[in-house]
Amino acid sequence: MRDQVGAGPQTSEARTRTYVDDDGTCWHVSEQPFSEYDRRSGNSLIFASDLAVRRVRNYPADWFSLPELELMALSWSV
């Protein structure tokens, strides 16, 4: 099982990936700190396109190296 992140310390270094889904939508994926108004601390994985934004709080530590199909599936995680 992969290590999960999201509740750990905030990082100042943001890594970003980009992919195009089956519908031709371009998604930018990056780790972002929780909002200052969120009672939790840590980071979220943000999936952003021109049409939508998705936030995943629990994601694998190796998200940056996941195959594109696994990264796309992760964007639908609850």
Can you give the residue ranges of every domain in the chain? 4-74
Question: By CB neighbour count within 10 A (0-12 exposed, 13-18 middle, 19+ buried), where does 56 fall?
Answer: middle
**Quick check: 6 pLDDT over 60?**
no
Tens digit of pLDDT for each residue in 36-47?
887 888 899 999
Residue linked to tokens 């964007």: 75
Q: Note the pTM of the prediction, 2 decimals.
A: 0.77
